[in-house]
Amino acid sequence: MAVPILKQGPFLIASIQAALTDTDVLRLQDDVMAQVGRYRSRGIVVDVTALDVMDSFVSRSLRGIAHMTRLRGAETVIVGIQPDVAFAMVQLGMNFEDVHTALDLEEGLAFLQAKLEPEPDASGG
Amino acid sequence: MADEVRVPIRSDADVVTARSEARSMGGGLGLSGTDLTLLATAISEVARNVTTYAGEGEVRLRVVADGARRGVEVVCADSGPGIADVELAMQDGYTTGNGLGLGLPGTRRLVDDFDLRTAPGEGTVIRLVKWSRA
């Protein structure tokens, strides 16, 4: 099943709805890369709340999306990793250190927004 | 609840089916949510090796008992090329950069029992068990 990708201002939101086959994951990778170019997106949120398993293939693929979009000038943040899934990923030995993560969609968008905005002026002017 | 379920593994969609069958079997035995996730992740790893390297195979799920404990036994079998260097396959490639990248060392950490039988040209059989905590 294809993962719907919504455009929200300068960001894309990919909301995974159900368990992904490897084919679905590869398609998500292609779709995100295509839409980053089409919409000149500055950031991507991938919401994995619905995933009950993040095995090595899914983890590597999401990491791949984060690295590839960064090369195109857009930051990716993975949101909604469930507690049991996080536990399994650590046991499995998945390295997610260089990937931005956030608790949920709201936190993920706030993270991207903060990256986009210039530092607040200290003088208040 | 069936005591034994066989899931043919021919495509990546079958991997998802095997995972969800194991979840429902383990849920019936009272395995915790965390244990069900660890088991499903382990099945994903071994079943993917079947579609990637052997083309096709089978996952057999069975309820096993040991005294008061009960568990889900997973036998993932294929008649593919087998693994020539088991020692290398069991090295943790994610941390050392060595290993074959089959995900087997990580998979072993997800389950309670892990046995691997393989020989070049004779396929691979991996047996996993996740036991209930009670």
Phi, psi (degrees; rounded to nearest 5) at B30: 85, 20
Ranges of beta strands (E only) in A35-81 are: 43-47, 75-79
Domain that holds residue B32: 4-131
The B4-9 sheet, strands edge to edge: B4-9, B57-66, B69-78, B124-131, B113-118
CB contact at 8 A, B110 and B41: yes
What does each of the 134 residues of chain B score in pLDDT, given as a tens digit? Answer: 568 999 999 999 999 999 999 999 999 999 999 999 999 999 999 999 999 999 999 999 999 999 989 999 999 999 999 998 888 888 876 544 455 677 899 999 999 999 999 999 999 999 999 999 86
CATH number at residue B31: 3.30.565.10
> Hey, what are B57's tokens?
């195979």
Q: Give yes or no for residue A76 having a pLDDT over 50.
A: yes
Place of tokens 């079943």: B47
**Residue bearing tokens 């890369």:** A33
- Ordered domains of chain A (ranges, CATH): 5-105 (3.30.750.24)
Nearest C-alpha of chain B: how many angstroms from A89?
9
Q: Tell me if B48 and A22 make a contact (CB, 8 A cut-off).
A: yes
Query: pLDDT per residue over A6-42, tens digit each?
Result: 999 999 999 999 888 889 999 999 999 999 999 999 9
Q: Do the Cβ atoms of A29 and A61 come closer than 8 Å?
A: yes
Got the DSSP string for A82-119? -HHHHHHHHHHT---TTSEEESSHHHHHHHHHHHHSPP
Decide if B38 and A91 are in contact by the 8 Å CB cutoff: yes
Picking from B37, B92, B94, the nearest residue to A52 by CB comes out as: B37
B67: which 2 tokens? 């005294």
ipTM score assigned to the predicted complex: 0.88
A106 Cβ contact list (under 8 Å, min separation 6): none
Rounded to whole angstroms, the Cα distance separating A35 from A18 reads 21
pTM of the model: 0.91
Number of domains in chain B: 1
